[in-house]
Amino acid sequence: MSASDVSAWCESHGMKRFRAKQILEWVYQHGEPDQLKWTNLSERDRRCAKEELSVLTGRTISHQLATDGTQKLLIQWDDGPASADPLRVLAEDSSLQTECVMIPSLGQDVHRKTACISSQVGCPVGCKFCASGLSGLDGNLSAGRIVEQAWRLGQLEGVGRISNIVFMGMGEPLSNFKPVVNAVRTLSAAPPEGMGIGARRITISTVGLPKAIERLADELELPVTLALSLHAPNDDIRRELIPWAEYTSIDQLLSACSKWFAKTGREITLEYTLLGRLNDQPHHAKELVGVAKSLRANINLIRYNEVDGLPYKRPRDNDVTRFQTILRDGGLNCHIRASRGRDIAAACGQLRHEHQTDSPS
């Protein structure tokens, strides 16, 4: 619900409009999900909120902490009747599970806390190297459930305020367009109407839907960052790795990204996952230089995190360094993303996949 939705709800239930601000303060500033503890509302209003407003609709069924401070949650979305015990999971149905990750900064910015959140349950894209799409798409997340992931990560002990958001968890954000856009508006809204995360600190990562990229530039007035999951220097390799690439060429994606930059003035981030001996060799890097130089773009190189049951390998360190050197020599702004949370299966979809594998049939 937007702030105006909450105001309308208050009025429709005989409450003053200022009650909406108080409700939003309890949720986003005080982090209090129990409506009966909203003490500046009357008992009647608190009970009404308890009966009709759902603050949280998920349950954390796995919480893992990595040695580097990264924390990962597996959330069960309960679509059945509510349990009287808020800590009890009604049914661990993997078709209703998503992951989110809190990634603290390893540098000097100790206040940087990045929430990597999911937009869908499973993923329709089915990238061959990714655990998220192994079981296909089970459904879309609502705007509320997208926001709830960031909220939950911010409530973890010692985390405090989430400073950055990346839509790089499970799902293809632009195939769940409206909920993602509405969630971004809430995440970026100033308190008490939202979480107060500046739009420039929010990144939407897409495998590449040209029309949706153009629509996002037109519809979302906020200065978010767009990240394109490229992962290959040519269409042949990309189609081998990404089934949806059969319908879209790299040239079409670059055209849509150029329109994004012309409309928003925001540089594109190209995400490139390095897979050992498959797309990480010098000739791949030289080919990528030609592709990327047509855009105002930054390049993030990502070392592959292995997934049990998949044949892809993590690249060798010297191959990664050589790849970056070739891109930089070609005049590109290129960074190697630090691998985080490898000891807790922090790569996209890994925890859900391992939870499915470990669960009795």
pLDDT at 207 over 50: yes
What is the mean pLDDT of the segment spanning 198-213?
A: 96
pLDDT at 102 over 50: yes
CB-CB contact of 161 with 113 (8 Å): yes
Active site residues: 99, 348
pLDDT at 346 over 80: no
| pLDDT given for residue 360 in this prediction | 47
Q: What is the pLDDT of residues 278-287, one digit of tens each?
A: 999 999 999 9
pLDDT at 87 over 90: no
- Prior bond to 192 cis, omega within 30? yes
What is the mean pLDDT of the segment spanning 59-69?
A: 94
pLDDT at 344 over 80: no
β pairing state of 58-65 and 71-77: antiparallel
Task: Specify the residue for token string 């459930």.
Answer: 145
Longest CA–CA separation in the chain, Å: 69
Say how far residue 280 (Cα) sits from the centre of its chain: 25
| pLDDT given for residue 334 in this prediction | 97
Q: Could you give phi then psi for residue 81, rounded to 5 degrees? A: -65, 145
- The letter for the amino acid at 357 is T
Q: What is the pLDDT of residues 109-156, one digit of tens each?
A: 888 999 999 999 999 999 999 988 788 999 999 999 999 999 999 999
How far apart are alpha carbons 8 and 155 in whole angstroms? 28
Q: Is the pTM higher than 0.85?
A: yes
| pLDDT given for residue 353 in this prediction | 45
Bridge partners of 73, per DSSP, are: 63, 100
Q: Give the residue with greater pLDDT, 89 vs 136.
A: 136
pLDDT at 81 over 70: no
Rama region for 231: left / alpha / beta (φ>0; ψ in -120 to 50; rest): left
Helix axes 177-188, 143-154, angle to 10 degrees: 40
What is the mean pLDDT of the segment spanning 175-203?
A: 97
How far apart are alpha carbons 161 and 177 in whole angstroms? 26
Cβ neighbours for 290, distance < 8 A, ≥ 6 positions apart: none
User: What sign does the dihedral 22-24-27-31 (CA atoms) show?
Assistant: negative
Length of the chain: 361
pLDDT at 352 over 80: no
| pLDDT given for residue 345 in this prediction | 59
* Domains located in the chain, CATH noted: 1-55 (1.10.150.530), 59-358 (3.20.20.70)
How far apart are alpha carbons 100 and 146 in whole angstroms? 10
Q: Residue 135 half-sphere exposure, CB side, CA atoms within 13 Å?
A: 20
| pLDDT given for residue 294 in this prediction | 92
What percent of the chain shows pLDDT beyond 90?
A: 82
Residue 88: pLDDT band with limits 50, 70, 90: very low
Residue 347: pLDDT band with limits 50, 70, 90: low
| pLDDT given for residue 44 in this prediction | 97
Q: What is the pLDDT of residues 28-50, one digit of tens each?
A: 999 999 999 999 999 999 999 99
pLDDT at 90 over 90: no
Residue 338: pLDDT band with limits 50, 70, 90: confident
How far apart are alpha carbons 64 and 71 in whole angstroms? 6
